[in-house]
Chain A
Amino acid sequence: MKARDLAELASRNLREAVLRNTLTTLGIAVGVASLVAMLSLGVGLQAFASRRLERTGLFDSIYVRPRQSDARPRGGAGGFGRQQNTDENAAGASTEIRPLDEAARKEIEGLPGVIEVYSEVHFTAEASLGDHGQLTTVAGLPASASSNDAFEDMEGHFFSSPDASEVILREELAESLADAANIQPAALIGKTLALRFPQRQQRPAQITGGAPQHPAGFTGGAQPAPPVSAPTLPAHGEGSTLNNSSNSSKPNSPNAASSIDMGMGFSIVPTEKDFTVVGIVVSGDPGVGPGGFGGSNAYIPLKVAEQLAPVQGSDLREVMDEASASGAGGVRYATLTLRTDGPASVAFVEATIKQMGFSTFSLLDVTRNLARLFYVLDILLGIFGSLALAVASLGIINTLVMAILERRREIGVLKALGASNRDVRRLFFIEAAAMGFVGGVFGVGLGWAIGRAINFVTAFFFRRQGLPPLDIWSVPLWLVFWAIVFAVLVSLAAGIVPASRAARLDPVDALRYE
């Protein structure tokens, strides 16, 4: 019999026992709905977690630093001394250590998939609001950090431009400053905050005999020199210099004699600069990361921070580092952070940078483990969701077995008129598949509704807790498609035994049946 005729007969048979078949189909729909609701919750949670993690920038970031010489102690700044063991093992036989200089930065910037490369600036400063000051830590943030979750529900706004003299405070610092000034933390926005910090100033080249210039965050090339009384501002790595623009800072003391001579290629000068408070981060830490600038209480634009040339931990290491001290001149970075266009690009870019001769660190493996974790979660949710479908499949078996009993004589007539066992088997399979398909379609709709309800209740609960609502549920198209396919397959599997029994019916016995 042709498929269309079989389908017509199956449709007629399903309509004849409409109540029983509807109830069976409803059972399938509930099973599919349970499966869809569970899996869409898993998918939604995964998407939510991925979205959040991607917005932290941790999973599409790579942290680069120069390889260390064997003579050098392990575990320096940057916090990834453990990782570097692996990197160095993979470095091959090359014994020459390539400096992480401007040329390297340009080369890394040119790699496919790399969208941003920046250095790390993290320093200690005294934040003063009027007469009230307190010691805090300040970090430079790149413009791309604006997508960080921490800024999603901040008070105020992100930096208006990469070179604005603006500062964003974390809530703890804001509260502390506001308490001291006897105002509400929110009232800090728009006020001027002075940051006093030790500034690193290069010695003039003519005095240091050609010593390299070092912008903030750079290491290497320092050489012993007598202290100077007229420090000059360092040239930035990209050629910009501090001048009398809005970013200009002033030495804290007009007397240059207050500077500290490090006996190296630079001096340290107390400096002060005013910033406008533009935002207060209520939750989260936008600066958390293996780059080591997490835990800061104030954030300023990275470009401004670089130009300020504050003294950092890496500068102290430079003083102690004989290898650096003996290095050639030019810009050298302690670390560089780069962002790729997505986690998928990380592996390739990381491998390329290692081949270039640098140590790298990324959270790629963490991402992989996270994906595995969600696969396991999806499987577990899928299994729980499938239980209802398994129960529904028993309903299909029951319905079809009942149909065989009721239609025993009809099967005999069909066989007497020329239906083969195959025709009878296909007829029952089509009926099972039709119930599965209709149940699957309704089940997906029901599952979608359940998911919406979960989302609604979750959002309501979060709002009551004063938290922003979360979208933890998602029904992708592939889930809709495969849920229906799965319902049909389960129904077909449930129909195997009844259909085979129907096909094997002896027509003579079936025709005798009353």
Chain B
Amino acid sequence: MDTNGAAFNAIEVSRHYRMGEAVVRAVDNLSLEIKCGEYVALLGASGSGKSTLLNLLAGLDRPTSGAIFANGRDLSTMSGEELARHRNQTIGIVFQAFHLLPKMTLEENVELPLRLGETPRAERPARVREALDRVLLTARRTHHPSQLSGGEQQRAAIARALVNRPSILLADEPTGNLDTRTGEEILQLIEGLHHPSGAGAADAAGATEGMTVVLVTHEQALAERFADRIVTISDGRIEREERR
């Protein structure tokens, strides 16, 4: 299958869970292609399977059937080590609950992917500063997550996702724990990563050009406002696709 130009290509992907006698079809025979540099919003109600699909795209989970290609490589053929490297180098992930490590300072949290990716020590301070600059948190670098607001924590999580300069950003309900205004700020920030010259660009220097963004959200208005394409998912299947 030709996967040229596709950041992701999911082909008849299913992810079923067995819960006692019942089988939960979280993702059911779903096919989806996401082009490089595209901003796609996965829209759906809670339990529709959109987060499961995001985990499959991230390589955090493996499909029950079907295949997923990321940048042309079949994730199902990758070893655990290769998948880990894929997550570290190619993908940045932002979670609804931020998932910053509470005992680490911001710069230590942001440095973590660099440690995991074995980036030379000498390069790390500059890379961390660059990432924190982009989310306007340089002044808070020595603070712990508990000393930050929700919006600041999510910006720190975005800095952590960006520090390895990935080509793809996967955001799972990044505004879910934030108020409307802060949530909009975060999405503006992500928009700036997708379109570095756009309104949300914090710093053009070293910015990731044309980052592919996959946003999982249940808020249609936000999806319509920022995404190039909206894929509505229901019961693990694509219900509707809308290109904007």
Contact = CB atoms under 8 A, between A and B. Distances in A.
Interface of A: 1-2, 5, 9, 12, 16, 409-410, 412-423, 506-508, 511
Given A416-B60, A417-B88, A506-B61, 19 more contacts: A5-B115, A5-B116, A5-B118, A9-B115, A409-B99, A410-B101, A414-B116, A415-B87, A416-B87, A417-B116, A417-B160, A418-B164, A420-B84, A421-B80, A421-B84, A508-B55, A508-B60, A511-B60, A511-B95
Nearest to B60: A507
Contacts of A1: 115-116, 118
B112 interface: yes
Nearest to B84: A420
B9 to A, nearest CB: 21
Contacts of A414: 112, 116
A418 B116 contact: yes
A421 B99 CA distance: 19
Pick from A412, A420, A506 the residue with the most CB of B within 10 Å. A420
Give the 5 A-B residue pairs with the shortest CB-CB distance, closest first.
A418-B88, A420-B84, A418-B116, A5-B115, A413-B99
Interface string B72-99: 0000000011001101110001010001
B117 interface: yes
Contacts of A16: 103
29 contacts: A1-B115, A2-B118, A5-B116, A9-B115, A12-B103, A410-B101, A413-B99, A413-B101, A414-B112, A414-B116, A415-B60, A416-B58, A416-B87, A416-B99, A417-B88, A417-B116, A418-B88, A418-B117, A419-B84, A419-B116, A420-B80, A420-B81, A420-B84, A421-B84, A422-B80, A423-B84, A423-B116, A507-B60, A511-B60
Interface string B165-194: 000000000000000000000000000000
A416 B61 contact: no
Contacts of B101: 410, 413
B49 interface: no
Q: Which of A410, A413, A506, A507 has the most CB of B within 10 A?
A: A413
A424 to B, nearest CB: 10
Contacts of B87: 415-418
B113 interface: yes
Size range of the chain B interface in the assembly: 20 to 34
A511 B99 contact: yes
B81 A422 contact: yes
Contacts of B164: 418
Interface string B104-120: 10000000110111100
Interface centre among B58, B81, B99 (most CB of A within 10 A): B99
B93 A416 contact: yes
Contacts of B88: 417-418
Interface in B109-141: 112-113, 115-118
A420 to B, nearest CB: 4
B176 to A, nearest CB: 14
Contacts of A5: 115-116, 118
Nearest to B117: A418
A326 to B, nearest CB: 91
Contacts of B104: 12
A2 B114 CA distance: 11
Nearest to A418: B88
Interface in B10-69: 55, 58, 60-61
Contacts of B81: 420, 422
A410 B112 CA distance: 12
A419 B160 CA distance: 14
Nearest to A4: B121
Nearest to A410: B101
A417 B116 CA distance: 8
B18 to A, nearest CB: 14
A45 B116 CA distance: 52
A506 B104 CA distance: 23
Contacts of B80: 420-422
B98 to A, nearest CB: 10
A507 B117 CA distance: 18
Nearest to B89: A418
Nearest to B51: A508
A414 B104 CA distance: 13
A10 to B, nearest CB: 12
B110 to A, nearest CB: 10
Contacts of A409: 99
B128 to A, nearest CB: 14
B174 to A, nearest CB: 14
Contacts of B103: 12, 16
Nearest to A424: B84
Contacts of B58: 416
Contacts of A420: 80-81, 84-85
B99 A418 contact: no
Given A423-B84, A508-B61, A417 B95 contact: no
B60 A418 contact: no
A416 B63 CA distance: 17
Contacts of A508: 55, 60-61
Contacts of B89: 418
B145 to A, nearest CB: 12
Contacts of B113: 417-418
B55 A417 contact: no
